[in-house]
Amino acid sequence: MPLARSLSVTSLSGLDEWDEEFELEDAVLFEIAWEVANKVGGIYTVIQTKARMTAEEWGENYFLVGPYVESNVRTQVELIEPTNPVLKRTIDKMNASGCKIYFGRWLIEGSPYVVLIDVGFTAWSLDRWKSELWDLCAIGVPWFDREANDAVLFGFLTAWLLGEYAAQSEDPPHIVAQFHEWLAGLGLVLCRQRQLPVATIFTTHATLLGRYLCAGNVDFYNNLAEFNVDKEAGDRQIYHRYCLERAAAHCAHVFTTVSQITAIEAEFLLKRKPDIVTPNGLNVKKFSAMHEFQNLHAQSKNRIQEFVRGHFYGNLDFNLDKCLFLFIAGRYEFSNKGADIFLEALARLNYLLRVNHSDVTVIAFFIMPARTNNFNVETLKGQAVRKQLWDTAQTVKERFGKKLYESLLVGQLPDVSKMLDKEDFTIMKRAIFATQRQCQPPVCTHNMLEDSSDPILNCVRRIGLFNSSADRVKIIFHPEFLSSTSPLLPMDYEEFVRGCHLGVFPSYYEPWGYTPAECTVMGIPSISTNLSGFGCFMEEHIADPTAYGIYILDRRYKGVDESCNQLTSFLFQFCKQSRRQRIIQRNRTERLSDLLDWRYLGRYYIAARHMALAKAFPDTYVYDPQEPSSASGFRYPRPASVPPSPALSRHSSPHHSEAEDNDEDERYDEELEAEKDRVNIRQPYTIPVKGKAVLGGNGSGEDEASEKN
């Protein structure tokens, strides 16, 4: 059931004829979300990373609106007096009427202005506003749903804010308000019902019903047209939330979503086709390490190896130099995030590596927060033993070095048999004795509160991967977010990702997918699916994603067993790569980071705002983008050199010589390949910045292209 191709699913170059002089001088942008300066999920990352580019475009007329959470404000926001006189009058009037509104700067890149609303302070109005919501929209919100109650308070207060801003403006204002997700959607519905002069945009990052249905193990994507949406929402006791989300989608001047796959979902579940797909980007500079990213990979990998040495003490019978680190990370949604299929594929990979007598060892990390009460004692002991062994080795080394120094001072070559005395051997024997363990290395690094019912641990018990010496695949479940202050694995998430070899994200429900995107900008290959927004986006823009280290797993048109076999094949082929092939692949992956930069993907948000202004204020704004032809756009071509996959680059003769290997090395020219890739990606869209020089130099991007990479 494909969605008809339109502006919402074109390649990036389909929007390159925009009018850069679109007049925004009299317009003001409010971006409203529950996750403004309040980290809950992925929307926080979207807003935080996009803020700099949006602030450059709108200047002093850009305001983020979110909830006031004191613990977050203390560390993330600098409270100041409003700089905009109209907004100052608006906030003063609302505060005098019994509200509590704060104004400040969010201390992130771009330092955008934020308007923070204390929803708890106006909780006395909840029953009255619920009654008004029922009278206006026939949507009833139950008393026990605290999240929905917050949505009602936040919605009425944001609509009040926008209405008061319009009333305080001396000239007729041109207000654009973009609402993210259902928690902010009620404000949009009220703006339209009250006929405020506001151009509205509603962006859904994932549909409520879609997330609930996928969590219930249904064949979601192949039955989208068959669902009775009202019944399904009612059965899951989220009908009132679903109504708020659907009302916002239908009332908005412009409806957007984050990926093509979510656009299909929204068309069937929310009953409106999105006007534009707005893919999520990243500030690539934040993650980019220029040409040092390979060195950073080696440094971070060494730190992970140190953890592995401690975790597997007494059972370290594999070569760490031939050890590959795989990982999956994100919310603990066992099926939605694909942890189930990943574990099954690891069991099959373990069999393949054993029967093929491979010397490669795979260590798979599961970074998914779950309920725990403390670190596992055996895991902490492992790190203590490792440190003790290191201290012992340093002590013996110092004693050895002192004797060597004294021997050389008297002009004699050292007698090696006398360099280590009985005391040295005693110290080393004690250290070796301490490394003996009677149990296998633990699978989980923490004590789980619900060990017997945990999905990952139960699956590990079923497939029998208990980190035994015979297994070529080891599993480490770290049920906590990574932190550089952890006594166990003292690394932050970015550093950990850099040290791994492959990110595995075989999600069944993933509207966008920031985890594989972050891998890409750090030069780490990843496995995604054709049911994730990221996977679909990469398939559209890269002719041969696998050659660039982006493996796309088919979970839409294949059954679970077939998808699992395909994932196993991807993993096995990756394990067969040589070190040089992995380096080449990482170089190619890192070059794709420009595709994910907000300098490219931000243009979709710009188009949505222009479209909303033209719909709400047709006498002032005109927006008529040309529909691109189906042949337009760009796609990264297949690399000119042999792809770094053994399955795709086999030698023509069964017994190849060393000369052939050298010849293959000569065929790969990093600089030549990078130059060809630069030709195939367009320069970022130039934003007319208020009071600043236009981004992108002369606007053509040619100078910037010659300097990059």
Q: Is residue 22 part of a domain?
A: no
Residue 663: pLDDT above 80?
A: no
Q: Is residue 323 part of a domain?
A: yes
Task: Lowest mean pLDDT of 195-209, 384-398, 463-477, 673-687, name the range.
Answer: 673-687
Dihedral in degrees, nearest 10, Cα atoms 69, 73, 77, 79: 90
Q: Which residues pair with 597 in a beta bridge?
A: 282
pLDDT tens profile 229-257: 999 999 999 999 999 999 999 999 999 99
Dihedral in degrees, nearest 10, Cα atoms 66, 72, 78, 84: 10
Give the residue-averaged pLDDT of 287-303: 79
pLDDT tens profile 162-209: 999 999 998 888 999 999 999 999 999 999 999 999 999 999 999 999
> In this predicted model, which residue has the larger pLDDT, 327 or 559?
327
Q: Is residue 36 part of a domain?
A: yes
Do residues 255 and 367 share a domain? no
Dihedral in degrees, nearest 10, Cα atoms 280, 285, 291, 295: -80
Of 708, 644, 656, nearest in space to 681 by CA: 708
Residue 702: pLDDT above 60?
A: no
Q: What pLDDT is recorded for position 281?
A: 93
Do residues 391 and 351 share a domain? no
Q: Is 597 within 8 Å of 588 (Cβ atoms)?
A: no
Give the residue-averaged pLDDT of 385-400: 88
Do residues 41 and 153 share a domain? yes
Give the residue-averaged pLDDT of 36-59: 92
- The percent of residues in the chain predicted with pLDDT above 70, rounded, is 84
Pairing, β 526-529 against β 502-504: parallel
Q: In 3-state terms, what secondary structure has residue 478? A: strand
Q: What pLDDT is recorded for position 675?
A: 67
Q: At 523, is the pLDDT very low, low, confident or very high (cuts 50, 70, 90)?
A: very high
Do residues 92 and 111 share a domain? yes
Do residues 468 and 396 share a domain? no
Q: At 23, is the pLDDT very low, low, confident or very high (cuts 50, 70, 90)?
A: low
Compute the mean pLDDT over every residue in the chain, rounded to the nearest whole number: 86
- The percent of residues in the chain predicted with pLDDT above 90, rounded, is 68
Q: Is residue 253 part of a domain?
A: yes
Q: At 667, is the pLDDT very low, low, confident or very high (cuts 50, 70, 90)?
A: low
Do residues 352 and 478 share a domain? yes
Residue 35: pLDDT above 90?
A: yes
Do residues 468 and 586 share a domain? yes
Q: What pLDDT is recorded for position 697?
A: 35
> In this predicted model, which residue has the larger pLDDT, 222 or 228?
228
**391 to each of 19, 326, 385, 428, 537, how far by Cα in Å?**
66, 30, 10, 11, 50
> In this predicted model, which residue has the larger pLDDT, 404 or 348?
348
- Expressed as residue numbers, the domain containing 563 is 292-376+442-596
Q: What CATH number corresponds to the domain at position 72?
A: 3.40.50.2000
**708 to each of 62, 587, 619, 687, how far by Cα in Å?**
30, 15, 42, 19
Give the residue-averaged pLDDT of 12-26: 54
Do residues 470 and 561 share a domain? yes
Residues 366 and 477: their CA atoms lie apart, in Å, by: 5
Q: What pLDDT is recorded for position 392?
A: 87
Q: How many domains does the chain have?
A: 3
Q: What pLDDT is recorded for position 428?
A: 85
Do residues 407 and 355 share a domain? no
Give the residue-averaged pLDDT of 452-471: 96
Q: In 3-state terms, what secondary structure has residue 196? A: coil
Q: Is 103 within 8 Å of 115 (Cβ atoms)?
A: yes
609 phi, psi to nearest 5 deg: -70, -40
**57 to each of 25, 112, 692, how far by Cα in Å?**
11, 12, 10
Do residues 361 and 400 share a domain? no
Go through the chain and tell me how many residues it has. Answer: 709
Task: Lowest mean pLDDT of 60-69, 400-409, 486-495, name the range.
Answer: 400-409
Q: At 572, is the pLDDT very low, low, confident or very high (cuts 50, 70, 90)?
A: very high
Q: What pLDDT is recorded for position 654?
A: 38
Q: At 646, is the pLDDT very low, low, confident or very high (cuts 50, 70, 90)?
A: very low
> In this predicted model, which residue has the larger pLDDT, 641 or 249?
249
Do residues 458 and 508 share a domain? yes
Q: Is residue 446 part of a domain?
A: yes
Residue 325: pLDDT above 50?
A: yes
Do residues 307 and 419 share a domain? no
Q: How many helices (H) and strands (E) does the chain have?
A: 26, 17
Please identify, among 596, 612, 645, the residue that sits at the C-terminal boundary of a domain: 596
Q: At 679, is the pLDDT very low, low, confident or very high (cuts 50, 70, 90)?
A: low
Please identify, among 416, 439, 462, the residue that sits at the C-terminal boundary of a domain: 439
Q: At 669, is the pLDDT very low, low, confident or very high (cuts 50, 70, 90)?
A: low
Q: What is the pTM of this model?
A: 0.85
Q: What pLDDT is recorded for position 645?
A: 52
Q: Is residue 405 part of a domain?
A: yes
Give the residue-averaged pLDDT of 602-606: 93
Q: Is residue 391 part of a domain?
A: yes
Task: Lowest mean pLDDT of 211-220, 341-350, 438-447, 537-546, name the range.
Answer: 211-220
Please identify, among 596, 621, 638, the residue that sits at the C-terminal boundary of a domain: 596
Q: At 676, is the pLDDT very low, low, confident or very high (cuts 50, 70, 90)?
A: low
Q: Is residue 554 part of a domain?
A: yes
Task: Lowest mean pLDDT of 171-180, 606-615, 631-640, name the range.
Answer: 631-640
Residues 259 and 538: their CA atoms lie apart, in Å, by: 11
Q: At 41, is the pLDDT very low, low, confident or very high (cuts 50, 70, 90)?
A: confident
Angle at CA of residue 666, ends 661 and 669, nearest 5°: 135
